[in-house]
């Protein structure tokens, strides 16, 4: 193992994760960001997607819907709007949310907030990806 760093994920609901990780891939606003031990300091926006991190050579996932990431002194701190570990996600509920969002987008009317439906779809897809192996 080349080394580890402290990965901490916090949401408004509280601490979601604190682990010594080997690697993490974060969904940035403009693409994925990979972090290894001894990474240069960084602050960036977190997008909707899946955080993938490796602990003891095993990949784990957390669905997130935005926030911020700070990398400093071999610590990665994620301040997430929402963060849900993949093993705690109700896959059937996530699939139903995806289908509802797709239906809203397919049948747009003046009463439908398209951007809200698009964001709901992105969040549902992230939750599905985090829940699947």
pLDDT band at 1 (very low <50, low <70, confident <90, very high): very low
Average pLDDT over every residue of 84-107: 92
Task: Tell me the pTM.
Answer: 0.89
Q: How far apart are CA 129 and CA 51, in angstroms?
A: 10
3-state secondary structure of 118: helix
Q: How far is CA 48 from the centre of its chain?
A: 6
Supply the DSSP symbol for 108: -
pLDDT score of 111: 65
- Name all domains of the chain by residue range, CATH numbers in brackets: 5-86 (2.60.15.10), 90-131 (1.20.5.440)
**CA dihedral of residues 25, 93, 125, 112 (deg, nearest 10):** -140
């Amino acid at each position: 193992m080349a080394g580890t760093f402290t990965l901490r994920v916090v949401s408004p609901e509280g601490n979601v994760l604190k682990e010594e990780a080997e690697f993490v891939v974060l969904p940035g606003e403009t693409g994925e960001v990979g972090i290894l031990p001894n990474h240069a300091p960084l602050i960036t926006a977190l997008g909707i997607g899946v955080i993938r991190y490796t602990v003891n050579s095993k990949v784990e996932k957390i669905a997130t819907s935005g926030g911020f990431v700070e990398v400093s002194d071999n610590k990665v701190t994620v301040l997430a709007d929402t963060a849900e570990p993949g093993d705690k996600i109700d896959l059937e509920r996530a699939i139903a949310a995806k289908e509802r969002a797709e239906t809203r987008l397919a049948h747009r009317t003046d009463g439908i907030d398209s951007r809200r439906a698009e964001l709901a779809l992105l969040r549902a897809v992230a939750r599905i990806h985090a829940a699947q192996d």
